[in-house]
Structure 1
Amino acid sequence: MNESNPPALDATIHHPTRLTMTAFLAGCAEAEFATVRDYCAISDASVSRIVTALEQAGYLHVRKGYLGRRPRTWLSLTQEGRAALDRHLAALQALAATARQAGTHTGQPQPDPSTAPRQG
């Protein structure tokens, strides 16, 4: 990869909250709306907006049903959504690797991570 050909980040899932939701859903077959909302620490309205965008992109499947008498909504990534997440994560890794490599070729001394001040 070179500077004129950056990795292909997925604009649909690039936003941190969308990426968080997508990554969470990649770890399970499906999850209830409220579980996703609580994990992402966002409002119902935000989950709904993100679900709509991901569903329109073909990345998310929405299943509605009942648990007893209570209506529920379950969310799951489609195969396309899982593939998009994999490509996006690979692009992030490639971007980071390229940046690290470019940093080693600048002629500037690189900081020693073992001597860096600790945050926190």
Structure 2
Amino acid sequence: MTEARFDETIHAPVRLRICGLLRPVDHLDFAVLRDTLQVSDATLSKHLKTLSAAGYVSSSKAASAGRGDSRQITWLRLTRTGRSAFAAHVQALQEIAGAAG
């Protein structure tokens, strides 16, 4: 079982949602994440930079087979450290809410 630990880095609403969206998947396209969160590129980039600096999110670029141009897709993933921190943060929120057994 995960030990509860409130995480100020993750707790910011957009960052909490980023982690929540990345947790169940291996990776997610920057544009899909941006559109799902309904934020600007700049806003998403700012939050991803914070999560990346904490070691919680990593990114990679790859060409898209479906594109006719040379632009690359930025793929984002929650790191192992990020997954652990997110799980601990969720546990802490559950304890705060009185939901932990």
Same fold (TM > 0.5):
yes
> Is residue 10–residue 19 contact of structure 2 (8 Å, CA) maintained in 1?
yes
Work out whether 1:30 is the aligned partner of 2:27. Answer: yes
TM norm structure 2: 0.86
Q: C-alpha displacement at 1:72, in angstroms?
A: 1.3
Q: Which runs of 5+ in 1 are unaligned?
A: 1-6, 99-120
Q: CA RMSD in A?
A: 1.4
In 1, Cα distance between the equivalents of 2:9 and 2:95? Answer: 19
In 2, Cα distance between the equivalents of 1:37 and 1:50? Answer: 11
**1:72 partner SS:** strand
Work out whether 1:87 is the aligned partner of 2:88. Answer: yes
Match of 1:19 among 11, 16, 20: 16
Percent identity over the alignment is 38
| Cα offsets for 1:65-103 (capped at 9, x unmatched) | 2214222100000000000000000000001118xxxxx
Q: How many residues align?
A: 92
Q: Which runs of 5+ in 2 are unaligned?
A: none
Runs of 4+ aligned residues of structure 1 deviating over 4 Å after TM superposition are: none
TM norm structure 1: 0.73
Q: C-alpha displacement at 1:8, in angstroms?
A: 3.3
Query: Which structure: larger Rg?
Result: 1
